[in-house]
Structure 1
């Protein structure tokens, strides 16, 4: 029996996060790292060596050379956000499926251009929001969709912060206006907004307003901010993201009958297991609460990055084998997240106005 063909990844750039992707691909059975490109051939070779990739992995000294390689099925783009539009369009026109780091674009208009190019060329688009692919995520959704245990969503609170070092604030691309102008909002805030939309079944809010006190660096890049999202039926969600506060990844979802809480929603404390807490019909019992929240532990066979790669490769393989169309849910979810993120940015820029969606 002939060996089943794997989906061949080309890594476009040697950013630090690309190390995670290279490791993730190496742990799958349906994909492989086929090529690595950098603006320097020496840097591409150093990346292959540092990540213990097979010696047969091809290395290129330009991104164009990798895109011209007909054997590359998928292009992973970990480049600064300001470069996503250019290289995603070039990859789509070369019929390469695209897995791009978040945020996928600087604005909704750029993302729409990328998605249109992917649709026109029959290639799959997905952003790299890894926690979406952890087995904990669908288990939490099952609880949220149970009318007897959770009821209706009323409120979502989300926080993602970490304290950057002095070197981080001086050198990291996420603080450079010409590279990643969305700063903490595009990095940590993207995860929060995605979690809020996920909890609300991707129903878009009616309005978005940024919180007072956003922090911007000298280049005008957001380093800390928050916002409130409101729906026409009274649902509310808030989030806070920052490069200044101690590491926090809290998500709380409050319903008419129950609550869901977790403290590591974007990156689990451990790779192979993750927990979340639920409570239903909690009330005061004399001097104490009751019933107490229940902990649910979920085992993951692979890290969430690997599960993301497996899912993306599965979709790509289906397109290749059957000539089917790309899965539209992934670009749709990315677009909704981008719309809300850019509304927060507009609110900040315009003096904390309420932005109607």
Structure 2
């Protein structure tokens, strides 16, 4: 068996979320931070210093310099969504594997261009939806797939919101039409859409329709919205995402026999453990004054934060390509593409006067 090699990461941009990845890469034996790039070398050096990176980490004053470094195996790209197409393509053409912040693209056509380039250059793609890689996630899926405990899927409801400050609405890239034009839909809504598709085994809905009264800022960027999904067999799903409500990360999945619920599906309350609740065949008691049985709490104890599990999986796929001649795993690009399609359909529904969009 070929010796497992460390995946040397280049960080393409010094966004706030990049700090979380630098920490996680440092905790992952199969990965290391090799270089950091910003639009100025001083900013790159300041980022490296603030995140306690060792002095041997390279700092570059342009993204091109980092991509030209032959020692960089993969890049993490936390740039604004409007820059994803340009820099993802430049990275891929330099044979760099890419871990791309969500949403990956402004539209499905741009996403397909990125994935075609990844395929042609035999590099791995993955988006940064961390909760997909937490060990709690397959435990929850096992409950949903149990015909005796959960039954047939009927509905899914998800929400992710946080209350932005005045400074957030003035300065954050997520409310700027030229930087992150999808706003709350692309940021927190991405997770809600992904959760709905995940619960439905990634079977696409027949149609989606945005809820009335989405909130848009003066630049036309969505800061709060919701939508309903429908499937031909009667399944339904709803979600709500917002920059105007207190921090919430709820997921509720309803079956013909059971229900799954949790309140921290995007980021667990704690790094070393995560729980979910399930109930089966719950009924009213005598005179409808009580009901039960009460939900069961299932706790999954882990050694690492969820972002490390994601990086471990990414490194495994990269090493499979470079050590044994394997092909890029298309699972993650397929899931991302479906999420992107639904996201853009919801945005179309909002822009076209809350019309139902058939997928």
* Matched residue, 1:190: 190
Give ranges in structure 2 of 5+ residues lacking alignment: none
* Matched residue, 2:238: 238
* Matched residue, 1:318: 320
- SS of the aligned residue for 1:247 comes to strand
- SS of the aligned residue for 1:44 comes to helix
Within the alignment, does 1:134 sit opposite 2:134 as a pair? yes
Distance in 2 (alpha carbons) for counterparts of 1:277 and 1:187 = 26
Distance in 2 (alpha carbons) for counterparts of 1:203 and 1:350 = 25
Moved >4 Å (runs of 4+): none
- SS of the aligned residue for 1:317 comes to helix
TM-score, L = length of structure 1? 0.99
1:5 is displaced (CA, Å) by: 2.5
Root mean square deviation of aligned Cα: 0.9
- SS of the aligned residue for 1:238 comes to strand
* Matched residue, 2:32: 32
Within the alignment, does 1:75 sit opposite 2:75 as a pair? yes
- Within a 5 Å distance, the mapping from 1:48-67 to structure 2 comes to 48-67=48-67
1:70 is displaced (CA, Å) by: 0.7
Q: Deviations over 1:108-163 (max 9, x none)?
A: 01000000000010000000000001111000000000000001110000010100
- Within a 5 Å distance, the mapping from 1:109-148 to structure 2 comes to 109-148=109-148
Distance in 2 (alpha carbons) for counterparts of 1:126 and 1:105 = 13
- SS of the aligned residue for 2:59 comes to strand
Distance in 2 (alpha carbons) for counterparts of 1:4 and 1:59 = 26
* Matched residue, 1:227: 227
Distance in 2 (alpha carbons) for counterparts of 1:279 and 1:178 = 45
Q: 2:290 aligns with which of 288, 299, 307?
A: 288
* Matched residue, 2:210: 210
- SS of the aligned residue for 1:277 comes to strand
Distance in 2 (alpha carbons) for counterparts of 1:320 and 1:143 = 36
- Within a 5 Å distance, the mapping from 1:84-99 to structure 2 comes to 84-99=84-99
- SS of the aligned residue for 1:298 comes to strand
* Matched residue, 1:330: 332
- SS of the aligned residue for 2:246 comes to coil
TM-score, L = length of structure 2? 0.98
Kindly tell me the number of residue pairs found equivalent between the two proteins: 356
Distance in 1 (alpha carbons) for counterparts of 2:5 and 2:122 = 20
* Matched residue, 1:253: 253
Distance in 1 (alpha carbons) for counterparts of 2:135 and 2:34 = 27
Give ranges in structure 1 of 5+ residues lacking alignment: none
Q: Deviations over 1:2-47 (max 9, x none)?
A: 9853010000000000000000000011010000000100111111
